């Protein structure tokens, strides 16, 4: 098989910096590094969203980045050095200036398979400091406020954020909570309904 340059981004190995090639590994053509043996099994992004209620209102932000002007739950991407809860705390603080006081757990997971990446989006129910008021950062969010759930039609809310809010309120699922497994890896965050 001819060795082809990596066409999914950088042609260089993220582990050693060597030039990657395409070859069949595990039954699929994958980007691999002939120098150190690194294999890129997937190109993925992990998004995190915060579902926050205050009374009968839900925290929403108006996006200042594409798609600009759409209202959504506060959200962003997991960074390499984040765990899922630290990403949630950071994104809520960045977009609304609010401090997360309690992460109740995961309520929704969405997976979207695209030609260039596999996208996972995790929505977590959380609480914020009840004495703080939301303020947009002026870049990622141009407005941030608690919107009464009866008034979702007054803002240009995304269909998916609307679905998240209305279906959560209708079904009130028990969040998957972070659990500790004795003797298991200390660096792992595990969530379940046990």
- The number of distinct structural domains making up the chain is 2
Residues 64 and 80 reside in one and the same domain:
yes
Residues 64 and 142 reside in one and the same domain:
yes
Mean pLDDT of 92-107: 98
Mean pLDDT of 148-175: 97
Q: CA-CA distances (angstroms) from residue 28 to 23, 24, 32, 41?
A: 8, 5, 11, 9
Residues 23 and 66 reside in one and the same domain:
no
Residues 102 and 36 reside in one and the same domain:
no
Average pLDDT of the chain, as a whole number: 92
Question: Which pLDDT does position 6 carry in this prediction?
Answer: 41
Residues 102 and 160 reside in one and the same domain:
yes
Which domain does 31 fall in, by range?
Answer: 4-40
E strand map for the chain: 4-5, 21-25, 28-32, 39-40, 44-51, 53-54, 57-63, 71-72, 75-77, 100-113, 118-128, 141-148, 177-179, 190-192
pLDDT above 70 covers what percent of the chain? Answer: 95
Cβ contact 146:154 at 8 Å: no
The reply to whether 189 falls in a domain is no
CA distance 194 to 186: 19
Residues 97 and 169 reside in one and the same domain:
yes
Residues 28 and 50 reside in one and the same domain:
no
| Reported pTM | 0.86
Decide if pLDDT at 15 tops 60: yes
The reply to whether 187 falls in a domain is no
CA 41 to chain centre: 20
CA distance 168 to 166: 5
The reply to whether 192 falls in a domain is no
The CATH number assigned to the domain holding 21 equals 2.20.70
Question: Which pLDDT does position 115 carry in this prediction?
Answer: 86
The reply to whether 144 falls in a domain is yes
Residues 14 and 97 reside in one and the same domain:
no
Q: What is the pLDDT of residues 28-43, one digit of tens each?
A: 999 999 999 999 988 8
């Amino acid at each position: 098989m001819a060795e082809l340059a990596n066409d999914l981004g950088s042609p260089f190995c993220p582990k050693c910096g060597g030039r990657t090639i395409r070859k069949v590994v595990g039954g699929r053509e994958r980007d691999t590094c002939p120098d150190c043996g690194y294999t890129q099994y997937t190109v993925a992004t992990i998004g995190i969203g915060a579902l926050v209620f205050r009374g009968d209102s839900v925290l929403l932000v108006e996006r200042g980045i594409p798609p600009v002007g759409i209202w959504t739950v506060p959200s962003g991407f997991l960074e390499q050095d984040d765990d899922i809860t630290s990403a949630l705390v950071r994104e809520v603080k960045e977009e609304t200036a609010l401090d997360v006081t309690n992460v109740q757990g995961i309520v929704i997971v969405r997976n979207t398979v695209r030609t260039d990446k596999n996208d996972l989006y995790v929505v977590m129910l959380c609480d914020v400091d009840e004495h703080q008021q939301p303020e947009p950062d002026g870049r990622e969010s141009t407005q941030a406020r608690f919107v009464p759930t009866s008034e979702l039609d007054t803002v240009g809310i995304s269909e998916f954020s609307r679905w998240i809010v209305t279906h959560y309120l209708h079904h009130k699922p028990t969040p998957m909570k972070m659990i500790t497994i004795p003797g298991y890896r200390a660096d792992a965050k595990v969530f379940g309904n046990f």
